[in-house]
Amino acid sequence: MPNDTKTALLDSAERAARTLGFNGFSYSDLAEDVGIRKASIHHHFPSKAALSIALMERYYQSLESACAKIDLEHDTGSTRLAALINTYYGALDDGQSLCLCVSFSTSTESLPSEVIDQMSRFRSMMLNWLSAVFLLGKEDGTIENVADPALEASATLPMIEGAQLAARTEKNPQLFDSAMKLLLSRLH
Indicate whether 123 belongs to any domain: yes
The pLDDT value given to residue 11: 97
The amino acid sitting at 149 is P
For range 28-34, the mean pLDDT: 97
56 close to 120: Cβ distance less than 8 angstroms: no
- DSSP per-residue string spanning 54-95: HHHHHHHHHHHHHHHHHHHH--SHHHHHHHHHHHHHHHTTTT
Indicate whether 82 belongs to any domain: yes
The pLDDT value given to residue 9: 97
Indicate whether 89 belongs to any domain: yes
Cα–Cα distance measured from residue 14 to residue 87, given in angstroms and rounded to the nearest whole number: 16
Overall size of the chain counted in residues = 188
Indicate whether 139 belongs to any domain: yes
Indicate whether 97 belongs to any domain: yes
- pLDDT confidence of 174, banded at 50, 70, 90? very high
CATH number of 133's domain: 1.10.357.10
Indicate whether 29 belongs to any domain: no
* pLDDT (tens digit per residue) in 43-99: 999 999 999 999 999 999 999 999 999 999 999 999 999 999 999 999 999 999 999
89 close to 173: Cβ distance less than 8 angstroms: yes
**CB count in 10 Å sphere of residue 174:** 10
* pLDDT (tens digit per residue) in 75-87: 999 999 999 999 9
The pLDDT value given to residue 181: 97
In terms of phi and psi (left: phi > 0; alpha: psi -120 to 50; beta: otherwise), the region of 141 is: left
- Our count of domains for the chain comes to 1
For range 32-50, the mean pLDDT: 95
Q: Exposure pattern of 145-169 as b/e (b: 16+ CB <10 Å)?
A: ebeebeebbeebbeebbebbbebbe
142 close to 55: Cβ distance less than 8 angstroms: no
Cα–Cα distance measured from residue 165 to residue 150, given in angstroms and rounded to the nearest whole number: 23
Indicate whether 99 belongs to any domain: yes
Q: Mean pLDDT in the chain?
A: 95
Indicate whether 178 belongs to any domain: yes
* pLDDT (tens digit per residue) in 154-163: 999 999 999 9
SS3 187: strand
The pLDDT value given to residue 3: 64
- In the predicted structure, residue 2 carries a pLDDT above the cut 70: no
For range 108-114, the mean pLDDT: 92
Enclosing domain of residue 85: 53-184
Cα–Cα distance measured from residue 127 to residue 25, given in angstroms and rounded to the nearest whole number: 30
